[in-house]
Amino acid sequence: QVQLVQSGTEVKKPGSSVKVSCKVSGNTFSRYATNWVRQAPGQGPEWMGAVVPMSRTPIYAEKFQGRLTITVDESTNTAYLDLSSLTVDDTAVYYCARSIPQLRYLDIWGRGTLVTVSS
């Protein structure tokens, strides 16, 4: 059974960066896309970007271009989200979620990582 296990809660200052990890169990890591989705309190989810480990080429939503970096470590089946220049508007739960590379419905989700940005 595939599971996505995320790192723990983060509290950050405005202007800083945050790095969230997502470890994928099972032997499907390389063949599926790992997506990053965030959800601010009371809001709908917002897709940020994704990477397919086999291609190693991430794709980003235009909104996050320039301050979002998604990377993978295939040796540990782990994907990373790195978001810089944080503002209070980045306060949200950040999820990783799996999808078939060409079909981006999200069938398995991590439990989420709360990132709070506060001065």
Partner 1 sequence: DIVMTQSPGSLAVSLGERATIDCKASQSLLYRGNNQNYLAWYQQKSGQPPRLLMIWGSTRESGVPDRFSGSGSGTDFTLTISSLQAEDVAVYFCQQYLSLPVTFGGGTKVEL
Among 23, 45, 68, 84, binds partner 1 (CB under 8 A): 45
Note whether 31 binds partner 1 by CB under 8 A.
no
Q: Which residues within the stretch 58-87 sit at the binding site for partner 1 (CB under 8 A)? A: 59, 61-63
Note whether 7 binds partner 1 by CB under 8 A.
no
Pairing label, strands 113-117, 92-100:
antiparallel
103 Cβ contact partners less than 8 Å away, ≥ 6 residues apart? none
Residue 94 CA to its chain's centroid (Å) = 6
- Encoded one letter per residue, x for contact with partner 1 by CB under 8 A and - for no contact, window 93-112 reads --x-x-x---xxxxx-xxxx
From residue 27, give the alpha-carbon distance in Å to each of 2, 16, 21, 34: 8, 34, 18, 14
CA 119/CA 117 separation, integer angstroms: 7
Q: Which residue, 8 or 44, is less far from partner 1 as judged by CB? A: 44
Positions in the binding site for partner 1 (CB under 8 A)? 43-47, 59, 61-63, 95, 97, 99, 103-107, 109-112
